[in-house]
Amino acid sequence: MVAAKGSRQRAMAEWLTAAGARGSSLDLAPGAFVSEKGTLSRAGLREAATLATLLDATADARIALVVHEHAQNVAASSLGRRRADALATFLKERGIASDRLAIRTDRSGRSPNQASLTLVAERGSWRDPIRTGAR
């Protein structure tokens, strides 16, 4: 897969290529989900398809879908979880093995978008559990 320099697809490929054992994070593009829903938008489907293609081509990579949880906004946390589930289901339907995917929760409350998802990629040995990531 060759993506144009400066494109989102190229940024995703470079993110996954650069990921090491410590993990590397990438936020999903704005508008990846239908507003206030756990459903992938058209743009989100394109991004998820790109991610599936990249994971399929990178056998030693796995990702954690990090849900940003906020104690004072349970609805946003629930929406974030539904979005993570939707993306994980899409990737599994595209042939990505479930042992290469994990859904984790970040309870730090640092994310400005309470229903956002962060992707954390790791490459290398799979002996240890997937970390939540480093920025």
Please check whether residue 130 lies inside any domain of the structure. no
CA angle in degrees (0–180, nearest 5) for 33-49-20: 100
CB contact at 8 A, 11 and 21: no
The CATH number of the domain where 46 resides is what? Answer: 3.30.1330.60
CB contact at 8 A, 24 and 133: yes
Please check whether residue 133 lies inside any domain of the structure. no
Please check whether residue 128 lies inside any domain of the structure. no
Report how many domains make up the chain: 1
Q: Give me the residues of the chain with pLDDT under 70, please.
A: 1-2, 70-76, 109-115, 125-135
CB contact at 8 A, 85 and 135: no
Is 74 exposed, middle or buried (CB count within 10 Å of its CB: 0-12, 13-18, 19+)? exposed
State pLDDT tens for residues 23-58. 889 988 889 999 989 999 999 999 999 999 999 999
Please check whether residue 2 lies inside any domain of the structure. no
pLDDT of residue 63: 94
Residue 6 to residue 10: CA distance in whole angstroms = 6
Give pTM, 2 decimals.
0.84
Domain span holding position 38: 8-123
